[in-house]
Chain A
């Protein structure tokens, strides 16, 4: 009974490069949430997706950030032209449905921008 999977666990990028973070939800879960955790801070909501649909992206920066959750495959959080301020832990969580409150978190991807 695999939980939420994220890869890579650690990602190092130089300024200006692209970062792609992947999240595979728990089996049977069709809703995915991305959160960002800056060092020594709490988790900030970024985007909420259902298969092939963005439900709410109000927490995601308008530029350089995008997210998708295709019909097949993992959810992808994409950060273009990364800057040092993007260095953070990015967690995804999944829930079975949109009405199902409980969210299960993945282990996170720690992005370091040099």
Chain B
């Protein structure tokens, strides 16, 4: 089955700096890669996603890049703010039919220092 690895496990940045979280996946058939933000005691919330036919996607301060050949994808947060502090999870999915479930990375705890 799919195996997703995520680094780093913890990340501290100064407010206004950028944060980068990296994930690798093992199954080359995976074609959908969402990122979720989870605040303490809350549900995971989708913040951005990318499909395998796209190399990069941006939404305001958040961007995701995908390298299918190397089987890795990254989350970039620019101009970080204290409210960005949370745990971020990457995931991979085969998509469609029996493969629509997500395989998650182990999470990155991001702390933005004011």
Contact = CB atoms under 8 A, between A and B. Distances in A.
A29 interface: no
B107 A42 contact: yes
Interface in A66-104: 91, 93, 95, 98-104
Nearest to B99: A56
A64 interface: no
Contacts of A59: 101
Interface of A: 31, 33, 35, 41-45, 48, 55-56, 58-59, 91, 93, 95, 98-108
Contact of A105 (B6, B45, B97): B45
Interface residues of B, number: 26
B52 to A, nearest CB: 11
Interface string B30-46: 00101010000011111
Contact of A107 (B42, B51, B97): B42
A75 to B, nearest CB: 14
A87 B19 CA distance: 32
25 contacts: A33-B102, A42-B89, A42-B105, A42-B107, A43-B44, A43-B104, A45-B101, A45-B102, A45-B103, A45-B104, A55-B98, A55-B100, A56-B101, A59-B101, A91-B44, A98-B100, A101-B32, A101-B51, A101-B93, A101-B100, A102-B46, A105-B43, A105-B44, A107-B42, A108-B43
B18 interface: no
B1 interface: yes
Contacts of B102: 33, 35, 43, 45, 93, 103
B105 A102 contact: no
B72 to A, nearest CB: 17
A43 B34 CA distance: 13
A48 B100 contact: yes
A100 B44 CA distance: 18
A61 to B, nearest CB: 15
A45 B98 CA distance: 13
B65 interface: no
